[in-house]
Amino acid sequence: MMISAIVLSILQTTAVVEPLPVDEQMATYEATYPGIGAEVPADLYRLGPAEADWSTSGLSATSAIAARQGDAEQFVLGEWVKGGHGVSSPGDRPLRPPSDFRRYSVRDYEGAIDSHYYYRLAPGIVIHTFGSVRSVGNASCSRTQGIEMISRDRWQDWPEEIAVVAFGVVRLTRDDSRTYCTVYSPTRDGGFRQLAYTPEGQPFLVVNNDAQVFTITTRAEATRRMFATDTQPTPD
């Protein structure tokens, strides 16, 4: 398994990585579309009172996978309904995009990597965040460290309505300095609700009140769906 991880890491780093001109493009869009650069409503980050058992009421991503008799070497947690497409991959186990996809750096990071997260913004356009994690009970606490965009097409060829959203979301991700502590709470149908807290145990109310449900997904299936270029990839 260690050899496979090393080989995958080498394959991941052989692609040419270009910087994504986030601030330059957003300045252009803000001049064209006044108002898109407005601050995110503070209510989005509204906090509730600290919960005494917040860090032990759920599971870490690794434990959630193991609870369904899975192995983090071969499985990830995938969200395929409410949020669109999201993948949480515990450990330094990145997904491998198709060889013809491009990689754009938003923030370089060279430290320890304990977790990878992928979010599919649009067909063929994915945000990838990664970095170190600090455990608090069963919770995994982190702030965004490394960020890249993975895209089939050159960013210059993205439709403008998609580019405006993509650049806006990635800038928001880059500039968010909050620490999020995540636990996964089992659901009756075999999934896991992803819940977010501050390191002091205060819940992010908007996130938790409309929590996304993740399911155990094989790495091969998660990779296929995450980097699919059709509108709504379906399971095999």
What are 41-62's pLDDT values in tens digits?
A: 777 899 999 999 999 999 999 9
Pairing label, strands 17-19, 102-107 = parallel
In a domain, residue 92? The reply is yes
In a domain, residue 20? The reply is yes
In a domain, residue 236? The reply is no
Considering the chain, what percentage of its residues have pLDDT values greater than 70?
Answer: 89
In a domain, residue 231? The reply is no
Task: Count how many domains the chain has.
Answer: 1
Asked if pLDDT for residue 236 goes beyond 70, the answer is no
In a domain, residue 201? The reply is yes
In a domain, residue 142? The reply is yes
State the residue for tokens 């997260």.
Answer: 117
CA atoms within 13 A on the CB side of 52: 0
Q: pTM, whole model, 2 decimals? A: 0.89
Q: Is 110 exposed, middle or buried (0-12, 13-18, 19+ CB in 10 A)?
A: exposed
Residue type, position 216, single letter: I
**Angle at the Cα of 145 from the Cα atoms of 228 and 49, rounded to 5 degrees:** 100
For 112-171, write each residue's pLDDT tens digit. Answer: 999 999 999 999 999 999 999 999 999 999 998 999 999 999 999 999 999 999 999 999
In a domain, residue 38? The reply is yes
In a domain, residue 235? The reply is no
The 3-class secondary structure across 160-210, one letter per residue, is HHHHHHHHHHHHHHHHCCCCEEEEEEECCCCCEEEEEECCCCCEEHHHHHC
> Given pLDDT bands bounded at 50, 70 and 90, which one contains residue 91?
very high
Residues spanned by the domain of 168: 2-226
Is the distance from CB of 43 to CB of 189 less than 8 angstroms? no
Asked if pLDDT for residue 232 goes beyond 70, the answer is no
